[in-house]
Structure 1
Amino acid sequence: MVLGGTVTLAQADDIPDKYPASVLYSAPVEVAPGVYSAIGATQPPTYENAGHNNNLSFIVTADGVAVVNGGASWKLAAALHSEIRKITDQPVKLVINENGQGHSMLGNSYWATQNIPILAHKDAAADFIDVSGPSGLEALNEYAGENAAGTRIVEPTELFSHRKDIQMGDTKIEVLHLGSAHSPGDTQVWLPDSKVLIAGDIAFSERMPPIFEGTCTLCWIETFETKLQLLGAEIVVPGHGAPTDLATVRHGTVDYLKDLRAKISEHIESGGDLSQAYYVDQSQWAYMDTFEELAAKNAGMVFSEVEFE
């Protein structure tokens, strides 16, 4: 892990499982006092990583634990809970879903049986129930085998629209929706006293940002530059990959999106069509994990967006 530094190609994560003793891909590490994260694989979900390909974080306070991300399955959520109990006697009092994707919310099925409140943005919850939950559960059952057991679709129990301020002991937790970014209801968890931002999928560094149908990349850039940057985070825990600094996630997110938009705009202005757009030069970003899976797809999505701006 590198805090306050850049992530290099040598740190690209292609190990099938770093923590064979657990269904988790890796054991939680303390990224700042009282803030822990089990860093997931930066590759697509597989049987070997059990779907733990995002970061599962938690905040230990004098009045309980707040978990950030429900996890991709019942078993992953239960495994994270087991690790939390090794670190603290404080009970988990809140689970925060950072978006509506399956690897953020499918583990709600475990946390709900523990009678723990589950908080999510209203748009993320709607996306999970209508789209991402059913497709995510189907995919989980296909790749995870026995590690999908017990997982079902469970809605968050509490919703917010713009922000929710939480005080747990002496720890102030701000749950924010800074604006349109990667997916509906993207949620950031900001700890102003320690200047730690659990950013979720608004911020990328090691892994290529995925661009979905309906993603507004121009809005994503604006949200990052006019809202996220102004927080002044010193440590950023992105949705995928090692905790790092603001400059690193800005490069992996904003610089990437701006570069791809510029290349697609130039392609359109020169008379290029969609079939050719998939091949615009993104080689400078080839160091990112999931480049092979996402680069051409992202180009097509941005073509569809820029064409009508």
Structure 2
Amino acid sequence: MFELIATVCVAGTCHAQLVPGFEAETLPECQSLAADHYGGLEASCQPIGPALDLSEVAPGVYVHIGEIAEPNPENRGDVANMGAIVGRDSVAVIDSGSTRQVGEALWRAVRKVTELPVQHLILTHMHPDHVLGAAVFAEAGADVIGHEGLARALADRQGSYLLRMEQEVGAELFKGTIAPAVNIEVADEMSIDLGLREVTLNAWPLAHTQTDLTVHVPDAELLFAGDLLFDDHCPSLDGSVVGWQTVLDDLIAFQVTQMVPGHGEVLAWPPKDLPLKRYLADLEAETRAALDKGSRLDEAAMTVAHEASKEWRLCSTYTPRNATVTYTELEWE
């Protein structure tokens, strides 16, 4: 297989990036496609690059499991779960990873399982490890869909998100990465027809973030929960601990047999045990106790949810942040 790679120069710095949609079995076929349909930038056909692993968890529903780690040069920023839903006529992709390179590797993975057009990229929330690979799919013609508050949230934070991710993965792996442009926003509920397969998107009130969106595949009895659900990876709170617990109760009652968390393994549903519910309850209760005792914010951040954190990885980083967000929320009730 061959693909088209363009040389793109910005502010005097050049890098190579995939031109999605110009894949072909042979070099001459790729060159013919490029000659007929593509121009404007220096480009050449090259052997196809690295692709992410996709596992089929239900008929026509694929999931990539990201590493349980912070983004770094070794994992190349591949730390979030992503997915693809294949219908008769088209494909919807769920989340796009933390860099353009991750987005390109996801594009190649989708192309391995289907040649149908990717008409929708659905972003489950605003965090950079889930959204910064989106440009690849937008360039291929996909509508970029998110919660009604996603475009504004990304506009407010894109500078810090881009800077932080570049620092974490390194400048070389970050080249070509830009903030996504959302062109369809979901205020409540929206349905997408992929051809003999309907997918339902639900926007949620303030919970993990202010921009949480889930993707329900009814005929597969499966829900992509984004970061409303965590497995193994310590939960990350950027919204409301009270709101998240309310939403989590709604998810527990959801009539599906599998849920895909934003991080960790695909979970059978309903679960026999849900550590996330326990963690959020302890985070709230222990923060309230710290406030009642008159503890300062810095003291609470170091002590709240200490025991609950032992069930998770990366909590030495995330729990102090979560306690800080929770303290700030509950302090002004």
TM range (shorter): 0.7 to 0.9
Q: Does 1:140 align with 2:165?
A: yes
> Cα–Cα, structure 1 residues 260 and 154, in superposed 2: closer, same or farther, change >3 Å?
closer
Higher relative contact order (CA 8 A, sep 6+): 1
* Secondary structure of 1:231's aligned partner: coil
- Aligned-residue offset at 1:174: 0.2
Q: Which residue of 1 aligns with 2:288?
A: 265
Quick check: 1:31–1:37 contact (8 Å CA) kept in 2?
yes
> Cα–Cα, structure 1 residues 271 and 153, in superposed 2: closer, same or farther, change >3 Å?
closer
The separation in 2 between residues aligned to 1:95 and 1:250, in whole angstroms, is: 32
Larger Cα Rg: Structure 1 or Structure 2? Answer: 2
Q: Does 1:202 align with 2:228?
A: yes
Q: Does 1:220 align with 2:244?
A: yes
Higher normalized strand content (fraction of residues):
2
- Aligned-residue offset at 1:95: 0.6
Q: What amino acid sits opposite 2:131 in the alignment?
A: M
* Secondary structure of 1:134's aligned partner: helix
Q: Which residue of 2 aligns with 1:27?
A: 53
State how 1:57-206 maps to structure 2 within 5 Å: 57-131=83-157, 133-145=158-170, 146-206=172-232
Q: Does 1:276 align with 2:269?
A: no
* Secondary structure of 2:303's aligned partner: coil
The separation in 2 between residues aligned to 1:267 and 1:78, in whole angstroms, is: 46
The separation in 1 between residues aligned to 2:263 and 2:305, in whole angstroms, is: 24
Q: What amino acid sits opposite 1:219 in the alignment?
A: G
The separation in 1 between residues aligned to 2:130 and 2:230, in whole angstroms, is: 16
State how 1:287-306 maps to structure 2 within 5 Å: 287-306=311-330
> Cα–Cα, structure 1 residues 247 and 295, in superposed 2: closer, same or farther, change >3 Å?
farther
The separation in 1 between residues aligned to 2:271 and 2:185, in whole angstroms, is: 31
- Of the structure 1 ranges 40-49 and 139-148, higher mean CA displacement relative to structure 2 is found in 139-148
- Aligned-residue offset at 1:249: 9.6
Q: Which residue of 2 aligns with 1:251?
A: 274
Q: Does 1:241 align with 2:267?
A: no
- Of the structure 1 ranges 139-148 and 163-172, higher mean CA displacement relative to structure 2 is found in 139-148
The separation in 1 between residues aligned to 2:112 and 2:148, in whole angstroms, is: 33
> Cα–Cα, structure 1 residues 91 and 245, in superposed 2: closer, same or farther, change >3 Å?
same
* Secondary structure of 2:275's aligned partner: helix
TM-score (norm 2): 0.80
The separation in 2 between residues aligned to 1:120 and 1:297, in whole angstroms, is: 25
> Cα–Cα, structure 1 residues 285 and 111, in superposed 2: closer, same or farther, change >3 Å?
same
The separation in 1 between residues aligned to 2:165 and 2:297, in whole angstroms, is: 32
Structure 2 gap segments, 5+ residues each: 1-47
The separation in 1 between residues aligned to 2:50 and 2:67, in whole angstroms, is: 12
> Cα–Cα, structure 1 residues 75 and 275, in superposed 2: closer, same or farther, change >3 Å?
closer
The separation in 1 between residues aligned to 2:254 and 2:305, in whole angstroms, is: 33
The separation in 2 between residues aligned to 1:245 and 1:51, in whole angstroms, is: 27
The separation in 2 between residues aligned to 1:172 and 1:216, in whole angstroms, is: 31
Quick check: 1:125–1:156 contact (8 Å CA) kept in 2?
yes
> Cα–Cα, structure 1 residues 189 and 238, in superposed 2: closer, same or farther, change >3 Å?
same
- Aligned-residue offset at 1:186: 0.5
- Aligned-residue offset at 1:31: 1.5
Q: What amino acid sits opposite 1:237 in the alignment?
A: V
